[in-house]
Amino acid sequence: MSQLQVSAPAITRSAVLLFFMPFANSVNGAGSAACPSNRYASTVGLALTLAQDWPPWGLPACPFLDLKAMIPLPIIIDCDPGVDDAIALLLALRSPELAVQAITVVAGNVPLALTQRNARQICELLGRRDIPIYAGCPRPLVRSLVTAEDIHGKTGLEGATLPDPALPLASGHAVSYLVETLQSAPAPLTLATLGPLTNIAVALIQVPAIAAKIERIVMMGGGITQGNITPVAEFNIYVDPHAAQVVFAAGMPITFLSLDITHQVLTTPDRLAAIRAVGHPVSDFATAVLSHYGKADEALLGTVGAPLHDPCVIAYLLRPDLFTTEPGQVQVELNSSLTLGQTVVSPASPDRLPVDIVRSVDAAGVYELLTNRLGHVGN
């Protein structure tokens, strides 16, 4: 059973998460790069997972203690920060239900030199120096890099004035990390992808067998009825459509979170006011960047507030009940100059593993979750 599909009595889950919180997400109190918190959580998590499956002759499941549901979900976040990536990282790293193993960074919203710097700044803001950050591909597989400074500002985090990060990049390439980690993982891992899919595609090209070690990719990308960088193409897929096609063809479980969903999750004035009112250094950062974010999108869409794309992926991992999905399939247009990068969504086919197409979102629920997590969690 997928870790996303299990459930447990909320009170039991909360009790166990309180136990894990200091180890899995020591917000604003984390130590050095040598801090073994993630390894500890992973080891304990694996032990509990194995315990849940033991003994193999199958005792009746205990209805009051679903250990798998109470273990922080180990995830790798691949991203191109970017304002909405930054908010997604804040949400993930302040949520004890998730054990972020690493952040892998790719070129996208801004060039790689800035996306990796922004990721390090965000981890420093949160005191999460225990999370390794790997720099990945500086450009797409085939095309030249397209960036989005009109949405995110010249640095990718317009509105924020964070200090130069002292936190170094982890040594090694993001693709090498993905390949080696997935190959050696004792159980499949979940990937949250928030940017162009170049790193993931290159890893899959290098070692196709790692697809079997990916529990699921929860992806922000694509559109069903609309685009944002062209009339039909969404930015992440348009930047590297060939990488996206590699990922969709690899045969892994994928959750497809498109513009049709994220365009409902708008940074309206009342939602920004609620975040501002939290009054915490992390929420102050979020307020600063979100106040500058997405003006071009607002003008394009004619909306009050800009779409907050990437945090929807993390919200889905935390609260899948805020979303509905249905099975389908996704193909990426690679040849037309007019519709390059369009994601064509069609009904599920019996000869292909279906993609879980997200069809609806409780936007108020997403902002309530985000606002709560930006506040005084664990400190």
Contact set with Ca ion (CB under 5 A): 80, 82, 85, 194-195, 310
Cβ proximity to Ca ion, 45 vs 223, nearer residue: 223
Supply the minimum distance, in Å, between the C-beta of residue 108 and Ca ion. Answer: 6
**Half-sphere CA count of 160, side-chain side, radius 13 A:** 27
Q: Report, in Å, the least distance between residue 50 CB and Ca ion.
A: 35
**Cα separation of 215 and 344, whole Å?**
24
Beta strands in 131-183 (DSSP E): 133-135
Minimum CB distance to Ca ion smaller for 85 or for 234: 85
Question: By C-beta, is 71 or 114 nearer to Ca ion?
Answer: 114
The DSSP secondary-structure symbol of 72 reads P
Minimum distance, C-beta of residue 196 to Ca ion, in the bound complex (Å): 8
220 in Cβ contact with 307 (< 8 Å): no
* Least distance CB 292 / Ca ion (angstroms): 16
Q: Are strands 189-193 and 214-220 parallel, antiparallel or unpaired?
A: parallel
* C-beta of 16 vs 194, nearer to Ca ion: 194
Hey, what are 49's tokens? 């997972």
**Is the four-CA dihedral 131, 372, 369, 152 of positive or negative sign?**
negative
Task: Give me the residue label for tokens 């994601």.
Answer: 343
The closest alpha carbon to 148, from 40, 293, 258, 338, belongs to: 293
Amino acid at position 100, single letter: V
What is the torsion angle, in degrees rounded to the nearest 10, for the CA atoms of residue 29, residue 283, residue 18 and residue 368? -170
Catalytic residue among 242, 263, 309, 376: 309
Q: Rank residues 45 and 82 by Cβ distance to Ca ion and give the closer one.
A: 82
Min dist. Cβ of residue 241 to Ca ion (A): 16
User: 200 to each of 69, 100, 102, 195, 358, how far by Cα in Å?
Assistant: 27, 17, 14, 10, 21
Does the active-site annotation cover 309?
yes
Where in the sequence numbering do the catalytic residues fall?
309
